[in-house]
Amino acid sequence: MKESNPITEPIGQNLIKLISNLCFSVFVFSVLIFTVIAITYQPPDPWLESAPALTKFFTKTENATFKDDSSILKTGEDLQAMPLAPLVPPVSSITEVVIEKSEEEVKNMTVTEKSDCDELRVVNCSDPRVLIAVERFNLRLFKSIVFLEYQKPVNGSKANECDVGWRFRNKKEKSWRKYRDFRRFRFGYGENCTYKIVRAGGWHSGFNARRSFRNRVNATSRSVGNPKVAPAFRDDEINDTIPTLGSLTNFRKGKYLYYSRGGDYCKGMNQYMWSFLCGLGEAIYLNRTFVMDLSVCLAATYNPSNKDEEGKDFRYYFDFEHLKEVASVVEEGEFLRDWKKWDRGHKRKVPVKKVVTHKVTPAQLKKDKSTIIWRQFDSPEPENYWYRVCEGQAAKYIQRPWHALWKSKRLMNIVTEISGQMDWDFDAVHVVRGEKAQNKELWPHLDVDTSPDALLTKLQGMIHPWRNLYIATNEPFYNYFDKLRSQYKVHLLDDYKELWSNTSEWYNETTLLNDGRPVEFDGYMRVAVDTEVFYRAKTRVETFYNLTKDCKDGVNTC
């Protein structure tokens, strides 16, 4: 028998051990590198690159052609995957399973004769089977709607009619806000002693089911002498009152970040949002309450007068209630009043840290114990822009809280009203014209490609005839799209002027915010509503990519 080599065996074992140790060392080193990268890596922020990068980021989704200062940027409720965004709270909805469970409960409660179901010949709106019939009908008809809760049906205007109200949200809206509808239904009876809907009314047709929401004094008509009174129907879920700090003791115990007005004031709304969220992001990073000025200056590009307009309220455009829920903010006037009261009544003044340049980074202020950190923006432009605070190294630890900024619920109610009046069953086209159509050097084909004849030819290959067609556009001439009416049921924003007229809920509410003075439905509001209605369409046709070969940003930018 061959003897084993006593020298060779230890060498082989040692070689195996050496290789094993080497592999294990490589593995450990790789894990260590990966861990360091995972801890320290910050993904590049496209917003910090340039203003065009900001616009590109927000407009790339869905090939949206709404951009620049003549259009609107998406806000928090439109963005799908934002860091720091709170999870949507679980809300139970009315589904087929829920309806079947209700039916089973009704069967157990009622004993019906197998004869001819005589009790259904007279419609009893309080009968649970009435609500079940409505729930099934709505679920079958409105595929894009999530039904959250129903009111108990009430009598309509005739014996076989019932009015039913409910709260819902649209599946395309990322927020959890609720909207309301109430409709009138005419009933017959079907098989197995069940109700069936013979006829369903349109949007807001069930007047008797309209809840008697708590009503405020109609300050509108009293203050401006308007004989028309807005209906006593309002959204009782909006609570954008200005929070108070309470006692002066609470004020002194607080920690605040205060930004003085800078060069961003009266710039486009895109820059306003970009800068505002920089300040709010720094306040969150410093664990401080952000002092915010509710007065907004609307840039000339949004106004028919072509002049900047000061004194606009933040709450006209954005959801202040939501902002208060997700971030610590205080209104500037309230803050300054309490600050002055404290300094007048106490020998020891409030500790204030004044910061005169954006080059002082948020990280340098992290350990500051002052009650107020006061950033002052007195330098010439562009050194006095708020967003400069979040540039450079600050971008590694300041994250803009986009989830905190939603569009105004009052504007979104108008969006819901328009979509609901079309029964959520419509297509839309965005037609960019205005100054771009006149600039033949940058957009040589846009004017012709968006002419009525060209539009009709193009849309016939994309949208079925006699569909509801919503046209979101900056074309000022209302009758420009009349040729499309030969093939489609055309809807324009101006068809819904009553939603912001002096008898509307929106008019009443904004007038109350403005101390009894009427508020103009301005250009930014128009684009906000146009944009959101466009997003809710079943088929969406863009100007660029669909209607014209011209580039979105001009010649040679595609």
Q: How confident is the model at residue 13 (pLDDT cuts 50, 70, 90)?
A: low
Model confidence over 260-277: pLDDT tens digits?
A: 999 999 999 999 999 999
| Residues 6+ positions from 320 with CB-CB distance below 8 Å | 240, 294, 314
Model confidence over 356-368: pLDDT tens digits?
A: 999 999 999 999 9
**For the ranges 123-137, 236-250, 371-385, 397-411, which has the lowest average pLDDT?**
236-250
Predicted pLDDT at 528: 94
Which residues make beta-bridge pairs with 427?
Answer: 469
Model confidence over 286-296: pLDDT tens digits?
A: 999 999 999 99
The CA distance from 170 to 134, in Å, is: 18
Average pLDDT over residues 281-303: 95
Residue 40 predicted with pLDDT over 60:
no
DSSP 3-state of 292: strand
CB 148 within 8 A of CB 178: yes
The more confident residue out of 71 and 90 is 71
**For the ranges 202-216, 274-288, 443-457, which has the lowest average pLDDT?**
202-216
Q: How confident is the model at residue 166 (pLDDT cuts 50, 70, 90)?
A: very high
CB 528 within 8 A of CB 507: no
Task: Determine the topology of domain 248-404 in CATH.
Answer: Rossmann fold (3.40.50)
Residue 167 tokens read as 């709260």
Burial class (CB in 10 A: 0-12, 13-18, 19+), 429: buried
**For the ranges 113-117, 142-146, 243-247, 351-355, which has the lowest average pLDDT?**
113-117
Model confidence over 212-221: pLDDT tens digits?
A: 444 433 433 3
Predicted pLDDT at 190: 73
* 489: phi then psi, degrees, rounded to nearest 5: -90, 95
User: What residue spans define the domains of the chain?
Assistant: 96-209, 248-404, 408-541
